[in-house]
Structure 1
């Protein structure tokens, strides 16, 4: 789940950057377009009051406002105090403000009045219906502002301007409806992918879990051990493996039955889990054999933890064996810098276990080079 959240944040960050750059491109395009429109008009009196007013109102002022919007959004997006949601809103509002600026300064073109539709559609990226509603409401506000400006500035009849605004309002409303449908569809699709991912992770976890003791199985141990062993030597923490095997477990099954044998396995698994830092380090290798993997602990500390397991397990009263004690033997190996493979590492701990069995059982033995002799 945490991984999915991280991916979602990274995806939003990526598209925030894309949208922010797009806003910059649009601002530049608008400036260039306004400049060429001015040149195309070929005014005969370049310094007349009409021309100066045109330059200020249609070129300088909107460009200045767009620059303020972009710079303000940049600092908000770069601030570490800005939340994920606030950054999404900032980019969407930046897009809207640039659209509204065009709408309010270039209302003489009816199509320009519909420009905020683009900002409404942009909100679909963030799958936030409240953000869509906010931009939709602001779009109507900017449309009303454009109408009021056009009413006092334009040469056209008020009725014509009003009709253009009504059409633009309908288009903005239609954009809002489509955006909400797309948001719901994309949200459901994302939820479906999320559910499928969780189900897949659950199946993978089940495939790596042994059902009786609920410990990770041999397959999971191979994966975890491989990741630990094949790390860079500089970053690898001290790695110790303990292979545990129940003493005379066949006699328990033959005498008391497999159900009682399962009880012994479950009890030992519980003791191993409770006494090992991190349940992910405990594995049922197969049958009555278990593996413990310790990372970042000195071997003396590991031996002390396993001694506690011996004491707790040996003192457990199973009831069915008339006060008899059930024990286990343990072989311990510390990963050396000699480049052991995972199978070689396991073999070293297994050799130590074999020695513990031959030396009387119910004890620990630590692998040493002389064991290979």
Structure 2
């Protein structure tokens, strides 16, 4: 879920940048267009108060406002304290403000009054109906403002301006309805993708989980161990592998049945999980064999944890046993920048386990590498 949220935030970040760059490009295009229109309309006239007023009202003022809007949005988007939602709103409102600026200063052309429709549609990117409603409401406010400015200037008949605004209002409302439908569609599509993602993650987790004990299985161990060995090469974090095998488990199955054997396996899995730090990994490698992977712990601390597991498992009371104990043997290997492959790393711990079995079971053995010889040293046995 967290990973999916990060992906969504990254996607929004990408499109915020695209929308911001688009706003900057539109601002530049509007500025160039204003200059070209001025040259085309006023090239044969000398400078006069009317021309100066035209330049101030239609070129300088809207260009300055657009620049203020863009710079303000830029600093807001760069502020780390600004939330993701606020940034989405900010860039959408920036788009609206540039459209509204064109609408209010160039109301002479009836189609210009409909420009905020573009801003309403652009909110679909963020699939936020509240944002769409906000920009829609602001579009009507800017339309009323454009009507007031046009009426104040008196260049056209008020009734004609009013009719143009009515048509523009209808177009803005239609754009809102269209944006709302598309936003709902986008949300449903995103939800469908989200559900598919969760289902896929669930299937992946099931494929990596052993059904009887609920522990990660051998496939998961191979993947995680490979990642851990690679990470050890980067961070030099201590990495320790412990391979555990139940002692005389076949006798339990033969004497009491597989259901009782399963009970023993589940009990051991619970004890291993409960006594292993939460950020570490516990695996059922197969049959009666389990694997523990420790990262960042000194070997003495790992041995102490495994000793506790020995004691708790040995003292556990099974109803089908009459005074007998079930024990396990453990082989331990420390990676320690050895350069081993993952299979070699596991093999060293497995060799230590083999020695623990051959030396009488119910004990730990630690694999050590000294000079060019590989030597197994006994940790201790349990009575």
TM-score clears 0.5:
yes
Q: Any idea what the Cα deviations from partners look like across 1:82-140, whole Å, max 9, x if unmatched? A: 11111111101111010000000000111100000000001001111001001001101
> Corresponding residue for 1:140?
140
CA distance in 2, matches of 1:354, 1:137: 75
> Corresponding residue for 1:332?
332
Residue 46 of structure 1 deviates from its aligned partner by: 3.2
Q: Indicate the larger mover: 227-236 or 209-218.
A: 227-236
> Corresponding residue for 1:244?
244
CA distance in 2, matches of 1:154, 1:21: 36
Q: Secondary structure at the match of 1:330?
A: strand
> Corresponding residue for 1:220?
220
Q: Indicate the larger mover: 362-371 or 314-323.
A: 362-371
Q: Any idea what the Cα deviations from partners look like across 1:154-188, whole Å, max 9, x if unmatched? A: 42211111111111111101100000001000010
CA distance in 1, matches of 2:343, 2:57: 77
CA distance in 2, matches of 1:262, 1:81: 53
Q: Secondary structure at the match of 2:361?
A: coil
Q: Any idea what the Cα deviations from partners look like across 1:342-372, whole Å, max 9, x if unmatched? A: 1111111111111101111100001131249
Q: Secondary structure at the match of 1:338?
A: coil
4+ long deviations beyond 6 Å? none
Q: Any idea what the Cα deviations from partners look like across 1:251-282, whole Å, max 9, x if unmatched? A: 11111111111110000000000111126510
> Corresponding residue for 1:284?
284
CA distance in 2, matches of 1:232, 1:334: 11
Task: Give the paired residue count.
Answer: 372
CA distance in 2, matches of 1:232, 1:354: 26
CA distance in 2, matches of 1:323, 1:217: 32
> Corresponding residue for 1:312?
312
CA RMSD of aligned residues (A): 1.3
CA distance in 2, matches of 1:279, 1:233: 19
Q: 5 Å matches for 1:27-176?
A: 27-176=27-176
CA contact (8 A) 1:43 1:51 kept: no
CA distance in 2, matches of 1:209, 1:279: 17
Q: Secondary structure at the match of 1:231?
A: helix
CA distance in 1, matches of 2:251, 2:279: 29
Is residue 2:260 matched to residue 1:260?
yes
CA contact (8 A) 1:273 1:279 kept: no
Could you state the TM-score of these two structures normalised by the residue count of structure 1? Answer: 0.97
CA distance in 1, matches of 2:10, 2:143: 34
CA contact (8 A) 2:365 2:376 kept: no
Residue 53 of structure 1 deviates from its aligned partner by: 0.6
CA distance in 2, matches of 1:254, 1:151: 98
CA distance in 2, matches of 1:279, 1:34: 62
CA contact (8 A) 2:352 2:376 kept: yes
> Corresponding residue for 1:370?
375
Unmatched tracts of structure 1, length 5 or more: none
CA distance in 2, matches of 1:232, 1:26: 51
> Corresponding residue for 1:183?
183
CA distance in 1, matches of 2:132, 2:234: 50
Q: Indicate the larger mover: 42-51 or 318-327.
A: 42-51
CA distance in 1, matches of 2:214, 2:61: 69
Residue 236 of structure 1 deviates from its aligned partner by: 3.5
CA contact (8 A) 1:243 1:290 kept: yes
Q: Secondary structure at the match of 1:230?
A: helix
Residue 151 of structure 1 deviates from its aligned partner by: 1.2
> Corresponding residue for 2:196?
196
Q: Any idea what the Cα deviations from partners look like across 1:302-345, whole Å, max 9, x if unmatched? A: 10100000000000011211121100000111114332111111
CA contact (8 A) 2:103 2:113 kept: yes
Residue 223 of structure 1 deviates from its aligned partner by: 0.3
Q: Label 1:279 to 1:314 Cα distance change in 2 as closer, same or farther (>3 A).
A: farther
> Corresponding residue for 1:354?
354
Unmatched tracts of structure 2, length 5 or more: 369-373, 378-383
